[in-house]
Structure 1
């Protein structure tokens, strides 16, 4: 397999896509539909190298259209909740030739931001779940372009354009080639021994690398089936488990916490529908959440580690009976993982430094961004921006994002350690330690908490002091109804002081 179309590996009559209230699509139907959408795009004058934006909610229509676009051209999945200015930025940055939305569910902001000459297309499914494209606007008063030859994308073609969600003011453009995505999907399939009998419940958004590769591509590469509801809803999670009997699901820790809050009372019911495993990625999993999740579902929870530039997965804990090490994100599966110092020297096990990776899943570089590439690549290794340490067996422990580490008067503090301690207090539902500017120390430590029950700050401080050195104990606690998250569920740690309007303090 070298392209996404070739990755659709299931037998013709095997179920590929399922969703609540929608007909099942087999692999044979999906492959035929993907080829037809690719042909329709070619007839509209769109082909290899053209970037086509997708703004749709999760569902079989999105998956089928994504594969059709990637087979004929290059897909640029976007969050359908973006504002008009955000859509305009991404269209311009990717030089999008067209936008595809779901028929009957217009996205005014996405359509209003269309660039001159962009085609507006809609996709709809018939009663059998078979998708087709329709032209909403050809974007030009000029005669329609000639059809493109029906060429299928090749291994080295860019299948998908995504953007980093890092701390820079301008997101970096990440060109993911077919060979990168296929390599990552195969790594994940191998990590978890996925096969035709497996079924994933896709709760991650399919504009994010975690959902696209971690849930969708990995499963379809194994011949298994993807259950794709229109979005994540913790209140409906149990009914989806009951209705579709998935064997696994993958999510960010905040989603796992929301699931736990809803299903605690149904533990016995869940054990009857036992999952083979649960996967967590895209953000650190607090140990206490992992423990509760395993108790509730009676299934192993596997911490993994991924990022967009590596086509998602870089490391993961393995399935039992192989050893899972608590507090680690496992080891590289088809990916080399090492630790590097600032000067570019690889470090020995036990030494802390920056996590670096290399492998066929890692992208060749950011698009049209030589400065970022110079900073990100050293001697063929990609610098992740994460700090960590490898043990003697190659298991990786992450100690935080280098830019998220709190420098309190010269003492480097990992906020993850504080998060975990706070989450172990019975009154705390969610916790996020973060840095605030301080005139003397440089940075001070505060923490935002969402509470289950009322509790005084003095009690939280005493709770932290029992497990943490004095300089790690948060100076202030901010009680919130919810902790701010980005579009993909990531906690906004770096921006918290700004979001809470906290200025520099003297003491």
Structure 2
């Protein structure tokens, strides 16, 4: 990545690379500042392999980009942290990663676990100090912490070769060449956010960041810059559709809508296709552990639930409990094979042994392949509801719930049951008056009896983490609320 930035700065120094708020950063300026950060960190005594936490929010994406590339240029290890993390989460990341320094935006508090500084302070200390030679492709580049939806966040280590896979120095092969800007609102510290940083270095289009996401702000930026590509998570797509921003803003320049971080419900994909008739709707499937391995799927009404195929068909496998491949149609664990050296859990060998096998990565999902190699998810392994003699897919229930015209958002999950062991429940955000009996009647045409939620919780909004993923453990706690309907 430092070499890629140096190349862009050498060949296109005046080209805008990043736009964040009113700040525009050219490749030349980006490279110069990253070099000063690397020199300043070296002057402070940091040496290759030391970990540096990066504590920034989406409003400071330009500073975060400079900080991250400066850290990498110095041969240090970047540890991205969103400014939305709770203090306890910050302490966990700093302690677990062993970070000795924190680069932060102005106004962020200091911590007693490591020294901290703003970019301006570090750049001012660069002086004549010369950073070390650029790192090698095999060196550890970053430790990115998982969302922690099912437990304590784990640190996922990635090498420089892993991060830069697929990048090019050939200007004729640069992706996202159909417009001058691509737009996203992904937070710092997420895998989607890191992908956008790599895109900013590699793509022909400049990266446009929306800061805190709201449908109106996002649509306004897309209209103002005639963004040809917008990247979303399903929760953002649902909010934009509900707000009907496509009817109040000129979004005709959008040619690609990319969805990531979670499966895009087919009903939502159909609505996106109608809202953006000139755009291709693409669903990307990967994880913090598996990247850059992924599948991608241009939405096809004939295969509404498919998540696509990898570039090389042999890099996707459905395996049984023994780890051996299963034939098409059979349900098992989803595995993806990385095209380069796979990532690993930092300082957690036992967990790494369960998830990583050479370049193969177990995704933590249950799925199947059809006869043409398209992937279909059944559920998250941790979300499958074992109700009596049945194994119930919460993903299938959620897809059915989204088909109801009054359902804006939905989540299905398991709750304890005295006879069945676990029963199915659902949480729903509805546009208008909707009762649990009405919803169950609707679902009886789409689901088997044992799949229909026995309890329905109506909420104003679903609890989500910083990456837009639904926190189902919080939904279980909310079932004792008076809004739960038997």
Matches within 5 A, 1:439-458: 439-458=418-437
Cα distance, 1:412 vs structure 2: 1.1
Q: Deviations over 1:123-171 (max 9, x none)?
A: 25xxxxxx96468xxxxxxxxxx97852322211111111223455332
* Cross-structure match for 1:183: 165
Cα deviations across residues 224-265 of structure 1 (Å, max 9, x unaligned)?
310123232222122101211111121210011111122346
Deviation of 1:461 (Å): 0.8
2:439 partner SS: helix
Distance in structure 1 (CA, Å) of the matches to 2:412 and 2:341: 31
Choose the corresponding residue for 1:305, options 285, 304, 307: 285
- SS for the counterpart of 2:147 is coil
Hey, what does 2:62 align to over in structure 1?
A: 60
| 8 Å Cα contact 1:354/1:387 also seen in 2 | yes
- State the TM-score, normalizing by the size of structure 1: 0.86
Partner residue in 2 for 1:172: 154
Question: CA shift at 1:107, angstroms?
Answer: 2.4
Aligned to 1:140: none
Structure 1 residue 318: Cα displacement: 4.7
The residue that corresponds to 2:17 in the other structure is 16
Q: Are positions 1:114 and 2:112 aligned together?
A: yes
Structure 2 length-normalised TM? 0.89
Tell me how far apart the structure 2 counterparts of residues 499 and 163 of structure 1 sit (CA, whole Å).
27
Give the alignment of 1:328-339 within 5 angstroms. 328-333=306-311, 336-339=315-318
Q: Given the alignment, which residue of 148, 158, 175 partners 2:140? A: 158
- Residues 15, 191 of structure 1: alpha-carbon distance in 2 compared, 3 angstrom cutoff: closer
Measure how far apart 1:296 and its partner are: 0.9
Q: Equivalent residue of 2:426, what SS?
A: strand
Does 2:13 align with 1:31?
no
Q: Which runs of 5 or more structure 2 residues have no equivalent in the other structure?
A: none
Cross-structure match for 2:400: 421
1:222 positional shift? 2.6
Any stretches of 5+ residues in structure 1 without a counterpart?
Answer: 125-130, 136-145
> 1:3 deviation in Å?
5.8
Match of 2:294 in 1: 314
Residue 290, structure 1, aligned to residue 255, structure 2: no
Aligned match for 2:377, one of 398, 416, 435: 398
| Whole-angstrom distance in 1 between the partners of 2:173 and 2:238 | 24
What is the CA–CA distance in structure 1 between the aligned matches of 2:385 and 2:8, rounded to whole Å? 45
Moved over 6 A (4+): 189-192
Q: What's 1:127 paired with?
A: none
Q: Which segment is superposed worse, 9-18 or 418-427?
A: 9-18
- Report the RMSD for the aligned CA atoms in angstroms: 2.9
| Distance in 1, Cα, partners of 2:448 & 2:281 | 30
Separation of aligned partners in 1, 2:475 and 2:194: 28
Distance 2:173 2:215 in 1: 27
Relative to structure 2, which stretch is displaced further, 148-157 or 84-93? Answer: 148-157
Separation in 1 of the partners of 2:281 and 2:5? 31
Question: In the alignment, is residue 260 of structure 1 matched against residue 241 of structure 2?
Answer: yes
What SS class does the counterpart of residue 42 from structure 2 fall into? helix
Cα shift readout 1:38-93 (whole Å, capped 9, x = no counterpart): 11111111231111111111221111111111221111111212222221111111
> Aligned to 1:309, what secondary structure does the other structure show?
coil
Instruction: Map Cα deviations across residues 407-456 of structure 1 (whole Å, 9 max, x no partner).
Output: 11121111111112222222221111111011211110111011110122
Residues of 1 paired with 2:259 and 2:302: CA distance?
Answer: 13
Asked if 1:438 is matched to 2:420, the reply is no
Change in Cα spacing, 1:222 to 1:180, as seen in structure 2 (3 Å) is: same
Change (3 A) 1:381 1:419: same
2:91 aligned to 83, 88, 102, which one?
Answer: 88
Counterpart secondary structure, 2:364: strand
- 1:281 to partner: Cα distance: 0.9
Q: Which moved more, 1:258-267 or 1:53-62?
A: 258-267
Q: Note if contact 1:357-1:382 (Cα within 8 Å) is conserved in structure 2.
A: yes
User: Against the structure 1 CA distance between its residues 21 and 218, is the aligned structure 2 distance closer, same or farther, given a 3 Å change threshold?
Assistant: closer
